[in-house]
Amino acid sequence: MYSAFLSLKGPQSRFPSRQIMCASFKKDSARAYANDSRKSSLPVPLVERNIKLSATILEILEWRTWARNYAKTASACKQSSLMLPSLSCLLVEIDWIVADVVAIQDWPKKFFHDIAARDLREDLRNSRFHCSSIDYLRDNAVPLREGLDELRALWNTRLRYRVPLQYLTATSYWRELVLVVTPAVLIPRPETELLVDIIKSAIHEKPSLVESPWVDLGTGSGALAISIAAEISKVKHSLNPAQSSREEEVIVHAVELCPRAAAIARHNVSRYRNITGGGSGGVSVYEGSWFRPLEVRGLTATVGCGTFAGIVSNPPYIPSKDFLSLQPEVRCHEPWIALEGGPGPGLDALISVCTGAAVHLLGGGFLALETNGGRQAHEVAELLEHMSLQDTSGCDKMPIFEKVKVHRDYNGTERFVSAWKIL
C-alpha cells in the first residue's frame, strides 16, 4: 500500500500522456464502482450489501467457469501493453467475488472443495456428476448480493479496463479488517501489514509506548491507523483492565492531505470504533500536510521535547521516472498523489517524514516507515543514522535516532525502516 499524503507538483503536468492514456479507462469503468443508487455517497462493500435476488448453484458455477475462461483467454494474449496479473491471481479474484456475492457464510468452501478445479460444462456433458448432484445444483437457489449480469459486467471491466477488483467491489481485506476503498485511496497492500507487526514488537519491547498518542501520516483508507489503535487498546487493557482507554481519548492521530481520501478514512474508522477505543476517540482523522494540521490544533509541543510515542507512515515513494512502467491498475486508477515520491530516488516524502519525526517524537519514541525497498530503504536508514543536533556548547553533534533497522517484506525485499529516538 502507498498512502495518500504529500501534495506534489501536478502529476498530469509531469506526465501529460496520462490524461489521454487513461481517459477511456475512467469513462467506461466509472459505473463499476459507483454506489448503486444508495443514499450514502460512499459505497458499501460487496460482502455487506443487502440481498438483491437469487440464482441456482449451477448458474453461479457456470458464471465462475465463464469468468475463468475469460481470464485464461485474456492471459494468453501476448501483447506487452496488457501486462495482466498472473492467471493464478485472476482465478483467486474470481473466487473472492463468488465468496462475497453469495449471502451464505462459507458457501464457497463447502461447494468448491470437490468441483473448483473442474470444467463444469465438460463435467455435465460427460455425466461426471451423479444425477442427484446435478439435480441439486439445478434445483437449489442461493441468495445473491448482486445479479450475475452485474457480475459479468464487473469482470469484463476488470479485464478490459484493468480496474482493480477492490475498487469494483468497494472492498479491501486487510489483516482482520474489511475496508471500504474507492479510487480516492490506494488499495492497502498485504506487505504493509508487516508495519503493524513491527510496531507490535516495539510495543512489546517497550510497553510505555502506549501511554502517549501515535501519528499515522498519509493514512489513506485508515488501515494502519485503525490496526495500530486496536493493538494499543489491547495492550492498555491487558496492562490495566480496570482502566481501559477512555472513550474520548485519541490513540492515533491520522493525517491525510486529500479530502476525498480523508472521508474514506473517517468512514472506515467509524466502522471499527469498537476495537479502537470506542466513542469519539480511538482514531481521529485530520486533513492537511504532514504535521501541520496537528500543529495548528495545538496537538504538538511548543518546545522541542516532542509529543508522540510513535510515528508511522507509508508515504509516496515511487520515483517519478518509474510511473510509466507501473501496471495499468496502478497507473490509470490509483491516486498518483499517493504514489509519487518525486524526482531522482523518490525520497521527497520520506525526507519530510523523517525531519518531522526528529522534532515531534518523544524521547524513546518509535518511528516506522515503508519505502520502495532496496537501495531506497538503505538511503532512508542512512538519513536517520546521520541526523543530529548540536549540543549546548555548539561543538559536538548528538545523534537523534538509534537502533536504526531495515526490515524485509514477505518477498524478502528490504522495505521497511524503523528507528528509536534517543532519550
Same domain, 137 and 253: no
The answer to whether 352 and 290 have CB atoms below 8 angstroms apart is: yes
Same domain, 135 and 196: no
Give the DSSP letter string of 228-288.
Answer: HHHHHHHHHHHH-GGG---TT-EEEEEEES-HHHHHHHHHHHHHTGGGTT-TT-EEEEEES
Residue 11 resides in a domain: no
Q: Which of 51-55, 192-196, 394-398 has the lowest mean pLDDT?
A: 394-398
Q: Would you tell me how many other CB atoms lie within 10 Å of the CB of residue 386?
A: 12
Q: According to the model, what pLDDT value does residue 26 have? A: 36
Which residues, other chains included, contact 82 with Cβ-Cβ below 8 Å and sequence gap of 6+?
A: 74
Share of the chain above pLDDT 90, in %: 63
Residue 5 resides in a domain: no
The answer to whether 67 and 194 have CB atoms below 8 angstroms apart is: no
Segment 256-277 shows an average pLDDT of: 94
Taking all residues of the chain, what is their mean pLDDT, rounded to a whole number?
A: 83
Q: According to the model, what pLDDT value does residue 241 have? A: 72
Interval 48-75: pLDDT, tens: 999 999 999 889 989 999 999 999 998 8
Same domain, 242 and 110: no
Residue 24 resides in a domain: no
Same domain, 73 and 162: yes
Q: Is 36 left (phi over 0), alpha (psi -120 to 50) or beta?
A: beta
Same domain, 227 and 277: yes
| Measured CA angle at 27 (ends 26, 31), to 5 deg | 90
Same domain, 160 and 230: no
Q: Which of 30-34, 186-190, 229-233 has the lowest mean pLDDT?
A: 30-34
Same domain, 145 and 195: no
pLDDT of 22 strictly over 90: no
Q: According to the model, what pLDDT value does residue 117 have? A: 43
pLDDT of 135 strictly over 90: no
pLDDT of 27 strictly over 50: no
Same domain, 342 and 387: yes
Q: Cα 90 to the chain's mean position, in Å? A: 19
Residue 247 resides in a domain: yes
Residue 14 resides in a domain: no
Q: According to the model, what pLDDT value does residue 246 have? A: 64
Same domain, 161 and 203: no
The answer to whether 348 and 342 have CB atoms below 8 angstroms apart is: yes
Cα-Cα-Cα-Cα dihedral sign, residues 257, 368, 275, 249: negative
- pLDDT greater at residue 246 or residue 251: 251
Q: Which of 129-143, 271-285, 353-367 has the lowest mean pLDDT?
A: 129-143
Q: According to the model, what pLDDT value does residue 35 have? A: 38
Residue 223 resides in a domain: yes
Q: According to the model, what pLDDT value does residue 37 have? A: 35
Q: According to the model, what pLDDT value does residue 423 have? A: 78
Interval 289-333: pLDDT, tens: 999 999 999 999 866 689 999 999 999 999 999 988 888 899 899
Q: According to the model, what pLDDT value does residue 183 have? A: 96
Residue 180 resides in a domain: no
pLDDT of 105 strictly over 90: no
Same domain, 237 and 342: yes
Interval 334-377: pLDDT, tens: 999 999 899 999 999 999 999 999 999 999 999 999 999 999 99
pLDDT of 169 strictly over 80: yes
pLDDT of 8 strictly over 60: no
Number of structural domains, the chain?
2
Domain that includes residue 111, residue range: 36-169
Phi first, then psi, for residue 224 (nearest 5°) are -65, -45
Which residues, other chains included, contact 25 with Cβ-Cβ below 8 Å and sequence gap of 6+?
A: 161, 162, 163, 328, 332, 333
Same domain, 94 and 212: no
| pTM, to two decimals | 0.84
Residue 296 resides in a domain: yes
Q: According to the model, what pLDDT value does residue 110 have? A: 52
Same domain, 409 and 324: yes
Q: According to the model, what pLDDT value does residue 380 have? A: 98
Residue with cell 532496496: 374
Q: According to the model, what pLDDT value does residue 235 have? A: 92
* Alpha helix positions (H), 80-212: 87-101, 107-115, 120-125, 131-139, 148-161, 165-169, 193-205
